[in-house]
Amino acid sequence: MLPRRYLTPNLAIAALLAILYGPLLVHWIDGWLHKTISIQHEYFSHGLLGLPFAAYIAWDKRKAWAELPNRCHPLGLGLVGLAGLMYLTRLPDWMNLSLPVMLVGLCLSLKAIAGLRLQAICLVLVALATPNQLPYLIEPYILPLQQFIASVAGFLLVQLGVPVTVESIYLFVNGQTVEVAPHCAGLKMLFTSLYVALMLLYWTGVYRSRLRTSLFLGGTVAVSVVGNILRNALLSYFHGMGQDGAFEWLHESWGGDLYSALMLLTIILLLRLIQNRVPTSLNLVVQSPSSSV
């Protein structure tokens, strides 16, 4: 339990944050669950996992937070004021981004740099789950990934005897066209996979090993790309063969959720494999050649 002298200001700050950002978080969660939010903001649906996890970590660190000396960093008050101005603009993206800015400002205002360091992982998880226009800005630069996925998916279908023609990001199967659009190129799943990977790295403590961390993040990207190639190959096959029910199931229905769950399960298994088979570091011993007598 926290000392009583800390409860009143902490409760006041928590109540103010709930009043300001409670409705905003409800809007995010409802949009992610029912897919009533914009496509760009759907890319951040991993917040359904990350935001509760960040809250749990912050709660777990409450004793360490209370033990830090109360110290205000000048930048903290400035960030709190900036977050307030961003919120008052009533522009959706600015209001969204004001949340991580407000939290960083509060950490600096209450506990200075030490508080910011203590809550660093929580702040990162919140920031990476905050809907913004970053996916829209990235999409024009992932054309090579779209073309690669289309080419490999077409190659796999040819090996199965399916007549397919690939032109840039388009697959033509039996006169039907399937486009590997940015949203279908696995960008959303890549975001989710890397976000969950970050959570797992912290939860397991693997982040302390650069070797394991590098292998895990690289493997996560590979799993995401390979999984999306297989998904696009299946979608092209279903659409080209007139299996509209199967196409809709995998593309829009719970089949897509099942695919995402299997991807995340694969990532967890990959981490377990790395933990069991990969050392925390490579100890290279260089032996000098023995001098001849």
pLDDT digits (tens, 9 = 90+) for 123-161: 999 999 999 988 888 888 888 888 898 899 999 999 888
pLDDT digits (tens, 9 = 90+) for 216-228: 999 999 999 899 8
Q: Please, what is the angle between helix 4-34 and helix 47-60, to 10°?
A: 170
* pLDDT for the residue 247: 81
* H-assigned helices in the chain: 4-34, 39-42, 47-60, 62-67, 74-88, 92-118, 120-128, 134-138, 143-159, 187-204, 210-240, 244-251, 254-277
Q: What is the DSSP secondary structure assignment for residue 287, as one 8-state letter?
A: P
Q: Supply the mean pLDDT for the chain.
A: 87
**Better-predicted residue by pLDDT, 36 or 132:** 132
Is a pLDDT exceeding 90 seen at residue 250? no
Tell me the pLDDT band of 283, cut-offs 50, 70 and 90: low
Q: How many CB atoms lie within 10 A of CB 8?
A: 9
For 163, phi then psi, to 5°, come to -70, 115
* pLDDT for the residue 83: 96
**Better-predicted residue by pLDDT, 210 or 180:** 210
157 and 166 Cβ atoms separated by less than 8 Å: no
- Distances, alpha carbon 208 to alpha carbons 204, 264, 282, in Å: 10, 22, 14
Is a pLDDT exceeding 50 seen at residue 251? yes
Percent of the chain with pLDDT strictly greater than 90: 53
